[in-house]
A and B are shown apart, each in its own frame.
Chain A
Amino acid sequence: MKVPVRPDPAAAAAGGQARLRPGLLAAALLVLAGTLLGSLLVGAADLPASGVVRALADRVPLVSLDSGLGPVGESIVWELRVPRVLMAAVVGGLLALAGAGYQGVFRNPLADPYLLGAAAGAGVGATLVIVLVPDGLGFVVPLAAFVGAIGGVLLAYALGSTAERGGGAATLVLAGVAVSSFLSAVQTFVQQLSSEDLQRIYSWILGGVGAADWRQLTLIAPYAAVSTAVLLAHGRLLDVLSVGDDEASALGLSARRVRLMVLVAASLATACAVAVSGLIGFVGIVVPHVVRRLAGGSYRVVLPLSLLGGAAFLAVADLVARTVVAPAELPLGVVTAFVGGPFFVAVLRASRRRVET
């Protein structure tokens, strides 16, 4: 499957080398910072923007400001809004980065972070806990989703590797499809047995970061940091891998080793995201695509910009989710698809002419 990618205009200026230009990186960081700040200023409680900014500035070391929000307002900002916005950004960044990683490994722009069974595995884990464990222990749902996601990917990888020496990319994808449908069947079956839990199961599946708090953030932080670092370090190697296993091997690269490293890191990132936010679709495919359209196809550019773009995208999506029908909320997964779908079509249409020339 090949999707045309617009050549990087910056590459032409630099004699054909496609690299992440500092200007582009700075622009992406600015967009992200603006998005995060904007998301912090808006919420269910009607707090004055200046007060929120002061409350945030007050937390900067050596700065002391009176926000004028009062203790309730301050704790709304610090205990509700900040963790929620950060969580949306972290989850969006991880999913987009993992999606880009999967696409590089499988040399297929339609690969997404759930390709190898992470979603179905997490679904089984979360559903089992919701159905079997007493209500008071709901906090183990993220753990079960995490374990389920990792388990699903491991199962697919084990099956794919035994079916073909060295675990070829196509065989892995097929194993992922098999594992995904099997685990989905298990999940559906368990769910049908216990119709009184349907509401909770569905609300988990549709995804959201409404329950985000500092504890969850610190729990996933180490895994998120490690997987992000590993994925970002593999940009050049994924570019080499894009010529195929045999040629990459003739260039001195073990395709299998690179694939395994990237898959492990991307799956860990996906499992983190799924554990704290449920199943949020679309981010992992759309964001890397938009990045490719705007900045070229080299993974040295796609990976870091997907991380930043995914973070900004999901922060905005969550802002929409909690404001459009306030005080009620829309499921985040619904918003990403609802906003992302038309947006993606618009990007495809806008860049079509340039791609075909």
Chain B
Amino acid sequence: MTVAVKGLDVALDGRPVLRGVSLDAPAGSWTAIIGPNGAGKSTLLKAVLGLVPSAGAIRVAGEDIAALKARQRARLIAYAPQIPSLPVGMTVFDYTLLGRSPYIPHLGRESAADLAITAEVLERLDLVGLAARPLDHLSGGERQRVVLARALAQQTPVLLLDEPTAALDIGHQQQVLELVDRLRLSDGLTVVTTIHDLTLAGQYADTLVLLSEGRVAAAGTPSQVLTRPAVEEHFGARVHVSPGPDGRPVLSLERP
């Protein structure tokens, strides 16, 4: 297992947010964490990153996360938050270069190799033309690609994406998720995303983990997890679930 979470408890300000959460993501797989608002999806990602104190075992690529230094952890896991803060005036190139931070000596400067890797990532994500563009002059789709570029520049085996499609239209949602999938397949990345759109989650992920009130309510393949009763119970939504052209479930809302 590249990402193995066992019996994870997280409490924020004394309020339990996650209780006994376990999750296994094999190398090269795509795991989507779904669940209603406030279920603890983002907190689960932050716990894996070591950003919130937690009890339980988290192992990434065989290493105990709690025992790693921040720099070592940053060479294993890259993270794109739901609302990334994009410093005003910083160029796309410099922002992507931030991904090399875990490899640059603390008070030192980046090497030629760091610059070359950054340039290569920009080329792969078709961002070369935007390299000198300040972040505040980008569209939503471009922004999401730039955040991905920074994560890729970290050259980690694991990619954690918090709602990568939240602010995008349907075309850009598809574009970004296809891009993530392409990178996952070519680089053998292990991808863990939180995602609101259940149909999208079912279309791209190998495994879905349904979180509800801080616990794992269901886990398995999309058709095992995305069932009418489960969606009704945990989201309070009435949906019609039908198999799509590739056999993966497609959800449509039913008017009451």
Residues of A whose CB lies within 8 Å of any CB of B are 2-8, 11-13, 15-18, 233-234, 236-237, 239-240, 242-244, 246-247, 249-254, 292, 296-298
- A sample of 16 inter-chain contacts (CB < 8 A) reads A4-B89, A5-B134, A11-B94, A15-B93, A16-B131, A18-B90, A18-B94, A239-B90, A239-B94, A242-B85, A246-B51, A250-B49, A250-B78, A251-B98, A253-B70, A298-B90
Max chain A Cβ within 10 angstroms of own Cβ: one of B46, B84, B106, B131: B106
New contact pairs (13) apart from A234-B107, A252-B102, CB-CB < 8 Å: A3-B88, A5-B88, A12-B132, A15-B131, A17-B97, A18-B91, A240-B98, A244-B85, A246-B51, A249-B51, A251-B101, A251-B102, A292-B89
State whether the Cβ of B73 lies closer than 8 Å to any Cβ in chain A: yes
In whole angstroms, what is the CA distance A3 to B81 when docked?
A: 23
Max chain A Cβ within 10 angstroms of own Cβ: one of B79, B115, B119, B132: B132
Give every chain B residue within 8 A of A6 (Cβ-Cβ): 89
In whole angstroms, what is the CA distance A237 to B90 when docked?
A: 14
- Of all chain B residues, the one with the shortest Cβ separation from A233 is B107
Neighbour of A247 across the interface among B70, B84, B102, B119, CB < 8 A: B84
- Of all chain B residues, the one with the shortest Cβ separation from A258 is B106
- Of all chain A residues, the one with the shortest Cβ separation from B83 is A244
State whether the Cβ of B77 lies closer than 8 Å to any Cβ in chain A: yes
Give every chain A residue within 8 A of B185 (Cβ-Cβ): none
In whole angstroms, what is the CA distance A16 to B99 when docked?
A: 15
Q: C-beta contact mask, B95-114 vs A, less than 8 Å → 1, else 0?
A: 00111011010110110000
**Contact A252-B94, Cβ < 8 Å, known A12-B132, A234-B107, A297-B89:** no
- Of all chain A residues, the one with the shortest Cβ separation from B50 is A249
Give every chain B residue within 8 A of A249 (Cβ-Cβ): 49-51, 70
In whole angstroms, what is the CA distance A252 to B79 when docked?
A: 11
Name the prevailing secondary structure of the A interface residues: loop
- Of all chain A residues, the one with the shortest Cβ separation from B154 is A251
Check A7–B134 contact: CB distance below 8 A: yes
Max chain A Cβ within 10 angstroms of own Cβ: one of B46, B51, B89, B133: B89
Check A252–B88 contact: CB distance below 8 A: no
Number of A-B contacts (CB under 8 A): 108
Within 8 A of A (CB), among B111-164: 115, 119, 131-134, 136-137, 154
Check A243–B98 contact: CB distance below 8 A: yes
Max chain B Cβ within 10 angstroms of own Cβ: one of A4, A16, A249: A16
Neighbour of B101 across the interface among A4, A17, A240, CB < 8 A: A240
**Contact A16-B109, Cβ < 8 Å, known A11-B132, A236-B104, A251-B74:** no
State whether the Cβ of B92 lies closer than 8 Å to any Cβ in chain A: yes
Neighbour of B81 across the interface among A12, A246, A253, CB < 8 A: A246
A314 to B: closest C-beta gap in Å: 26
Within 8 A of A (CB), among B39-54: 46, 49-51
B32 to A: closest C-beta gap in Å: 20
Check A251–B99 contact: CB distance below 8 A: yes
Check A17–B94 contact: CB distance below 8 A: yes
In whole angstroms, what is the CA distance A116 to B177 when docked?
A: 45
Check B94–A16 contact: CB distance below 8 A: yes
In whole angstroms, what is the CA distance A247 to B115 when docked?
A: 21
State whether the Cβ of B75 lies closer than 8 Å to any Cβ in chain A: yes
Give every chain B residue within 8 A of A15 (Cβ-Cβ): 93, 119, 131-132
Neighbour of B85 across the interface among A16, A247, A251, A296, CB < 8 A: A247
State whether the Cβ of B87 lies closer than 8 Å to any Cβ in chain A: yes
Max chain A Cβ within 10 angstroms of own Cβ: one of B81, B85, B115, B154: B85
